[in-house]
C-alpha cells in the first residue's frame, strides 16, 4: 500500500517477492484470502482510518509505527479456518 502523498491508500496484490521502502508498506497474509484483504484495504472506511493516522498536511504520510497500528476487520467466517477450503487460502 502506498503510504505517502496523493497516492496514499492505493493498494495492490503482489504475486512475487518484492522489496518495499518507507513510502510503500506491505501486509503478508498467512491465513486470510488475498482478495478479502485487498478488498478490505480498498474500502473508504480503511482509507479514512489511514488518513486519520497520517501526518503532514501538504503531503500526508503514514510512518511504519502508525501503519502497524491499523486494524483490519476479519469477517467471522474467516476466523473459522475449517470453513475455508485450502484453495481459497491463497
Provide the domain limits for residue 22. 5-89
- Count of domains forming the chain: 1
Rounded Cα distance, 84 and 33, in Å: 9
pLDDT digits (tens, 9 = 90+) for 38-70: 999 999 999 999 999 999 878 899 988 898 898
Q: Is the pLDDT of residue 89 over 60?
A: no
pLDDT of 49 reads 92
pTM over 0.75: no
Amino acid at each position: 500500500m502506498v503510504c505517502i502523498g496523493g497516492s496514499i491508500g492505493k493498494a495492490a496484490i503482489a504475486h512475487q517477492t518484492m522489496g518495499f521502502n518507507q513510502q510503500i508498506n506491505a501486509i503478508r497474509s498467512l491465513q486470510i484470502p488475498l482478495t478479502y484483504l485487498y478488498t478490505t484495504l480498498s474500502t473508504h472506511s480503511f482509507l479514512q482510518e489511514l488518513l486519520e493516522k497520517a501526518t503532514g498536511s501538504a503531503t500526508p504520510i503514514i510512518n511504519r509505527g502508525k501503519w502497524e497500528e491499523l486494524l483490519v476487520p476479519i469477517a467471522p467466517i474467516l476466523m473459522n479456518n475449517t470453513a475455508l477450503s485450502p484453495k481459497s487460502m491463497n
